[in-house]
Amino acid sequence: QKEVEQDPGPLSVPEGAIVSLNCTYSNSAFQYFMWYRQYSRKGPELLMYTYSSGNKEDGRFTAQVDKSSKYISLFIRDSQPSDSATYLCALSGGYQKVTFGIGTKLQVIP
């Protein structure tokens, strides 16, 4: 079993839809949870960073962590074509070793 599981997609949604992206994990030592966005032919860029359980909101993006279920989510409201990218979850126990999901490819159709 992989430490981090993420559905690779692709996920296609119409413009304006609410998008839900998810990862599950098995290592209970993970305390820091991140989401990266990667456009085609570009490096991943940090989108959201959360510590422990709970929600964090930044504009149209909300990151949610449920440590009891070992489940993390990224919600995108009012999705735009410019949100079309691959989204990678990243988890860490706080010792600089970061484990990445394989990424979910999202396409927002105008």
Partner 1 sequence: DADVTQTPRNRITKTGKRIMLECSQTKGHDRMYWYRQDPGLGLRLIYYSFDVKDINKGEISDGYSVSRQAQAKFSLSLESAIPNQTALYFCATSEAGPGTDTQYFGPGTRLTVL
Among 15, 45, 57, 66, binds partner 1 (CB under 8 A): 45
Instruction: Pick the closer one to partner 1 by CB: 45 or 57.
Output: 45
Among 32, 56, 60, 75, binds partner 1 (CB under 8 A): 32
Q: Assess 42 for contact with partner 1 (CB under 8 A).
A: yes
Among 12, 18, 26, 46, binds partner 1 (CB under 8 A): 46
Least separation, in Å, of the C-beta of 18 and partner 1?
Answer: 25
Sign of CA dihedral 102, 11, 43, 94: negative
SS3 3: coil
Residue 71: CB partners within 8 Å, gap ≥ 6?
22, 23, 24, 25, 65
Report the distance separating Cα 46 and Cα 48, nearest Å.
Answer: 6
Q: Assess 43 for contact with partner 1 (CB under 8 A).
A: yes
Cβ(39)–Cβ(20) below 8 Å = no
**Residues at the interface with partner 1 (CB under 8 A):** 8, 32, 34, 36, 41-46, 49, 51, 88, 90, 92, 94, 96-98, 100-103
